[in-house]
Structure 1
């Protein structure tokens, strides 16, 4: 899978590396800003009973 992604990126090796890092940062920010806050609202971790 990673080889397919690497081959599908345009440009020489340094450009591919920059694009790959930019994609990783974009996925990380999307998870932190959108996905994880939504999931935390769905979890019942505030209803603690001892």
Structure 2
């Protein structure tokens, strides 16, 4: 999958590297600000019980 993406990015190696870094940053930002806050509401982090 990654060679397929790399082959389709425009430009030479430095441009491909810059676009790759931007794409990775965009995916991380989408996960951090969109997916994780949404999923946190569905996970039972506050329902902790400790039995002795």
TM-score, normalising length: structure 1: 0.92
C-alpha distance in 1, partners of 2:14/2:43? 42
Unaligned runs of 5+ in 1: none
Return 5+ residue gaps in structure 2 as ranges: none
Aligned length: 50
Deviation at 1:45, TM superposition (A): 1.5
Deviation (angstroms), 1:43 = 0.5
Structure whose alpha-carbon radius of gyration is higher:
2
* Cα RMSD, aligned residues only: 0.7
Q: Structure 2 CA distance, aligned partners of 1:29 and 1:43?
A: 20
